Structure 1
């Protein structure tokens, strides 16, 4: 089973970190290599340009891929299935035009020229809008094209909008909201190993922003303790044994959102909980 991973750029390190947290550690070093084995003898990493990964998966060079949704939509391989939003690399593909120009809506681009590195996405977008501009494919510096009279507007990626503002471009419409996704070729989606990979990565995402609370609480206050714990499906309650001091006490474990920890601990103390321990969660299989 081969997983295609971005070989460099802003998507490489977060992809590798996620795989490692999921237990798929690369071995023998992954730097400057085309392939890397993982601790799972059935799983190999293949490093490729983010834009090429959809084609690698479609052609069978890899079974599973990690790359931006924008790259998948642009490649439009047709035989891959989106499995999981990995929730990083967020950006937007937007239609933008000069702030001091006369392009204020998509309809204003009829018969005009639009420059983009994403011609397939642009073509589909304008088809959906029933507008027919000329689409010019460029390989970089898209935001400069309106200022050198190559285009009336652009479709380009933005994360913060800073580059657009610097180049005096205003957003006319959002074309696509993108983030990094896990996807697979259709014929391997139901493969057991693919499903294991999906579960492993999902467990890391599910644990993000969660904390594990452990405490002792008076048994006769258990109802009040449960009322103040914003847990996932309620806390786990266990008897305390082997300690004379444990009479009338129970152990309570719960998963809570990190943002609720401060207030929850104060509320738990007020109803008699003690020995409260908070730990991080690496993976959470729901």
Structure 2
């Protein structure tokens, strides 16, 4: 049995649950207070934990795999295997100060006070700049610290930047870029390599399919060479014969979602018809 830990709440919870479902590991019999659940795969059990606790559970082997933020992993330098960047929950761990207080991070003086949940990463960052600062470790509402005078600036996660602007703060520098990652216990990976490789492949196939669409269409055979020029696809279009009164071919091609309507306009101009745009659940290379 593989124990996979996911965040029980917060910004990583819903995307993690969606990924599990799309990859074939949807939890069943879940409840608001439930700490673990079986999944559609009888060999996978899901544990619901705080995101910041997940690396510790994976590090000790209490969980075989875990989904958590890269910032949390790096803050405590856990000896875990980082398997995949899951590409959700993206944010920046940034140095921020009251608007206009500093021209740049170089203006922060020795012994300046910083409020942060990420004391280790913050200390390393400023040490790399040759600066010694005073760290006030907090566990939330970091943005208020400069306003109430307990710190000159903060180091905190920044997504859209809305919270910073609401508190009259501006970013001076970026300590770390973060997103959700899949991590694994090193011993568990060796012991259960086949099953864990299966999980990794399932996740990768879902991630690969995101923002991709399958275009299907019928095209006059005489336009085939022109079509190949305007439809790059992943490895060129797949072409097959169509039983029709006119010489036609059926064409399937995978394209980036953002290029779909541009592609449709192009292929229609060379006579394509019966065009279908289809979601892709997984792409396995």
TM superposition score normalised by structure 2: 0.92
| 1:188 Cα offset (Å) | 3.6
Unaligned runs of 5+ in 2: none
1:74 corresponding residue in structure 2: 75
| 1:30 Cα offset (Å) | 4.7
For the structure 1 residues 127 and 280, does the alpha-carbon distance in structure 2 shift closer, same or farther, using more than 3 Å as the test?
A: same
2:126 corresponding residue in structure 1: 126
| 1:247 Cα offset (Å) | 6.1
2:148 corresponding residue in structure 1: 148
1:252 & 1:103 partners in 2: Cα distance? Answer: 57
For the structure 1 residues 166 and 270, does the alpha-carbon distance in structure 2 shift closer, same or farther, using more than 3 Å as the test?
A: closer
1:144 & 1:31 partners in 2: Cα distance? Answer: 31
For the structure 1 residues 102 and 29, does the alpha-carbon distance in structure 2 shift closer, same or farther, using more than 3 Å as the test?
A: closer
Q: Say how many residue pairs are matched.
A: 282
| 1:263 Cα offset (Å) | 2.3
| 1:72 Cα offset (Å) | 1.1
1:72 & 1:56 partners in 2: Cα distance? Answer: 12
Unaligned runs of 5+ in 1: none
| 1:155 Cα offset (Å) | 0.8
1:106 & 1:67 partners in 2: Cα distance? Answer: 32
Q: Are the aligned partners of 2:189 and 2:196 in contact in 1 as well (CA < 8 Å)?
A: yes
2:70 & 2:236 partners in 1: Cα distance? Answer: 35
1:85 corresponding residue in structure 2: 85
2:195 corresponding residue in structure 1: 193
| 1:246 Cα offset (Å) | 5.9
Are residues 1:266 and 2:265 paired?
Answer: yes
RMSD of aligned C-alpha atoms? 1.9
Greater than 4 Å deviation, 4+ residue runs: none
2:164 & 2:67 partners in 1: Cα distance? Answer: 27
| 1:20 Cα offset (Å) | 0.4
For the structure 1 residues 270 and 166, does the alpha-carbon distance in structure 2 shift closer, same or farther, using more than 3 Å as the test?
A: closer
TM superposition score normalised by structure 1: 0.92
1:117 & 1:158 partners in 2: Cα distance? Answer: 13
- Residues 42-78 of structure 1: per-residue CA shift (max 9 Å, x gap): 111010001100101001111111111111112321x
For the structure 1 residues 248 and 60, does the alpha-carbon distance in structure 2 shift closer, same or farther, using more than 3 Å as the test?
A: same
| 1:199 Cα offset (Å) | 1.4
Q: Are the aligned partners of 1:7 and 1:50 in contact in 2 as well (CA < 8 Å)?
A: yes
1:16 corresponding residue in structure 2: 17
1:89 & 1:23 partners in 2: Cα distance? Answer: 21
1:57 is paired with a residue whose SS is: helix
2:213 corresponding residue in structure 1: 211
